[in-house]
Amino acid sequence: MEVKNASLIYSFVIFLLFIFLFIPGIQESFRSHQLLWLYILLFSYIIANITTPVVKIIATHFNIVDKPGGRKIHSNATPLMGGVAIYIAFACAIIHNDVYSVELKGIAIASTIVFIMGLVDDIKSLPALLKLAVQIAATFIAIRYGVVADFLPNTWWGKLFEMLVTMIWVIGITNSLNFFDGMDGLATGLTIVSSFFIGLLAIQSGQNYLMYLSIALLGSSLGFLPHNFRYKQCAAIFLGDGGSTFMGFMLANLTVMGGWGATKPVKAYTLPVLILGILVFDMSYTTITRLKNKQISSLSEYLSFTGRDHLHHRLEMLGFTRKQIVFFILLISASFGLSALVLRNGNTTDALLLLLQATLICVVIVILMIRRNNSNNHAQ
């Protein structure tokens, strides 16, 4: 009864905030006091909160659900398409608040393509190579609008290598976050932590458009989180591939979009590596171990390979509960994000030291996982 009453009170507060934000003059009042970021945060949060239950009903009605079985850890059929609510909230926040730039146009077109592809994959499974091809095409569109790493001389070979690095980064981060969508609240939580630190760095460096985009993604993810990560209950709805790939694609492009200081490229590109360090670590570690164990021998096998060897799976084998795993990973991600904030006013030496620190943290995690694996082998 207490939970039900709390839910009713929460819904009533959300409704009142929704009405408040649409009162004539409120938006301009926030803007005039240089608090547009707060308006965008509240707006995207509320829209996601309102649309998520609607999306859940639609997904359930059309039987677009994730059924238990195989490597999946949930025990009940759960509606997918949660990413639809996040996409709608994000898009509405950007359009309603008139936040536009040339780079945003490219990211908007490209991320929409990735989102639609993921949504179709939720409804009817698509071949891995087709999904990769769509992601490559979408990344090319973003690059055409200027969302590209900038750290080499302005020559043909410099531009070509920058495009290649951008392509690997964006596709790698997009799919890494998708792989983390295996426990309630994990992918959403990582998006919240990452977009929060991107937003703070954008504020520090005076990049308003980047700040507004990251705040809109932060608010949309926060609005979805109560439905995806619930106290003593399983998730009411999952992100689905549409949501996780959209959020991963956005995070990857936001870090590329950020002007972190091209005069010091080591420092500049250490910032996004730290912010998204958990995603970089998991993608790198699983790739290395799969190659080492000869589980994959071709690109096709790599793309289609599914296994319980990601960080959250390995932590579960160590005996952590699922909620403990989510908090553990988010705390590590937040610690990397704090390092990025410290580095903002640092130099190249600081960047190398903080990268070393992050690497050592990852090594400690690897040692724990290897020790557990060795213990299992001896037990057998």
Whether the CB-CB separation of 283 and 310 falls below 8 Å is answered with: no
> Residue 78: beta bridge partners?
66
Q: Which residue has the tokens 């649309």?
A: 51
State the pLDDT confidence band at 233, using cuts at 50, 70 and 90.
confident
Taking only the tens place, the pLDDT of each residue in 47-57 is: 999 999 999 99
Q: H or E segment at 122? A: helix 102-123
State the pLDDT confidence band at 89, using cuts at 50, 70 and 90.
very high
Q: Residues of the chain with pLDDT > 90: what percent?
A: 50
Whether the CB-CB separation of 245 and 117 falls below 8 Å is answered with: yes
State the pLDDT confidence band at 1, using cuts at 50, 70 and 90.
low
Flag whether pLDDT at 42 surpasses 50. yes
pLDDT at site 261: 57
Taking only the tens place, the pLDDT of each residue in 301-331 is: 676 677 777 888 888 888 888 899 999 999 9
State the pLDDT confidence band at 379, using cuts at 50, 70 and 90.
very low
Torsion of CA 333, 189, 125, 164, to 10 degrees: -40
Flag whether pLDDT at 143 surpasses 80. yes
Taking only the tens place, the pLDDT of each residue in 323-378 is: 999 999 999 999 999 999 998 888 889 999 999 999 999 999 988 888 766 555 54
Question: What number is the average pLDDT over the span 160-167?
Answer: 90
Flag whether pLDDT at 266 surpasses 90. no
Out of 219-228, 246-255, 273-282, 339-348, least confident range: 339-348
pLDDT at site 39: 95
pLDDT at site 317: 85
pLDDT at site 291: 85
pLDDT at site 12: 84
Flag whether pLDDT at 141 surpasses 90. yes
Question: What number is the average pLDDT over the span 184-203?
Answer: 94
Q: Residues of the chain with pLDDT > 70: what percent?
A: 90
Question: Pick the residue with more confidence: 71 or 237?
Answer: 237
Question: How far is residue 194's CA from residue 65's CA, in Å, rounded to a whole number?
Answer: 28
Flag whether pLDDT at 192 surpasses 50. yes
* Boundaries of every domain in the chain: 35-379
The mean pLDDT value of the chain amounts to 87
pLDDT at site 37: 92
CA distances in angstroms from 15 to 9, 35, 52, listed in the order given: 10, 21, 14
For the chain, the C-alpha Rg in angstroms (whole number) is: 21
Residues contacting 307, CB < 8 A, separation 6+: 71, 290, 295
Flag whether pLDDT at 380 surpasses 50. no
